[in-house]
Amino acid sequence: MPHFHLPLQSGSDRILEIMRRRYRRDLYRTRVAQIKALLPQACIGVDVIVGFPTETEADFLDTYQFLQELDIAYLHVFTYSERANTPAMELKPAVPAAIRNRRSQMLHILSEKKKRFFYEQQVGREMTVLFENDLENGWMHGFTENYVRVQARYDPMLINELKKSASPASRLTLKPKPKKSRPGLENIAGFSEGQLKK
């Protein structure tokens, strides 16, 4: 399946060293590029931590810029929280909670932009979908092989079945999150009903 989840934790080499990670950002960038070269439609998700002890504004901006430039689909953002009896507890200075929260919000916004761009790249592609047994206002949901969330009119015959998006049995809509719709992106996966949602 062309879906990868690659922990990064920080885009700052200084913070990666403090975290005792065995890689640096150049190696990470190379791995992402290799995946996308072999599988251009691959969905790549990234774990990142904000507010790790000693993280400066410059360290955070390094991380933000690095993530912005990477060809990835979304972020899993974690805000650092103290854990007793861990080496990180001894590191000073700690990042104030308000700054941690602001940095987390910035990366969540970046993640939404990344996901929207990735989903827009899937418009018009034929994809295989595995539908789940959930029902929401007459719609069911599933995921493509590259982890794009879609919805279709509820049909119990589709549950736990792999279906091509071009099948007349289902009229599909790409659906990252149940927020306000974005009109004008017609004909997703070959269906005029298709409409990308933010």
Tens digit of each residue's pLDDT (9 = 90 or more) over 57-76: 999 999 999 999 999 999 99
Domain assignments of the chain as residue spans, ordered by start: 3-121, 124-198
Average pLDDT value over all residues in the chain: 83
What band does 176 get if pLDDT is binned at 50, 70 and 90? low
Question: What is the Cα–Cα distance from 129 to 194, expressed in whole angstroms?
Answer: 15
**In CATH, what class is 3-121?**
alpha beta
CA-based radius of gyration for the chain: 19
Q: What is the pLDDT of residues 137-159, one digit of tens each?
A: 889 888 999 999 888 888 898 89
Q: Say what the pLDDT of residue 83 is.
A: 83
Q: Say what the pLDDT of residue 194 is.
A: 33
Residue pair 162/130 in contact (Cβ under 8 Å)? The answer is yes
Token pair for 176: 């990252």
What band does 80 get if pLDDT is binned at 50, 70 and 90? very high
Task: Report the amino acid identity of residue 28.
Answer: Y
Kindly give, in sequence order, each residue whose CB lies less than 8 Å from that of residue 175, ignoring residues fewer than 6 positions away.
141, 149, 150, 151, 197
Pick the range with the lowest mean pLDDT from 19-23, 61-65, 159-163, 192-196: 192-196
What band does 178 get if pLDDT is binned at 50, 70 and 90? very low
Question: What is the Cα–Cα distance from 59 to 185, expressed in whole angstroms?
Answer: 37
Q: Looking at the predicted structure, is the pLDDT value of residue 36 above 80?
A: yes
Q: Among candidates 118, 12, 3, which has minimal Cα distance to 67?
A: 12
Q: Say what the pLDDT of residue 175 is.
A: 60
Q: Say what the pLDDT of residue 195 is.
A: 30
Q: Among candidates 62, 58, 74, which has minimal Cα distance to 26?
A: 62
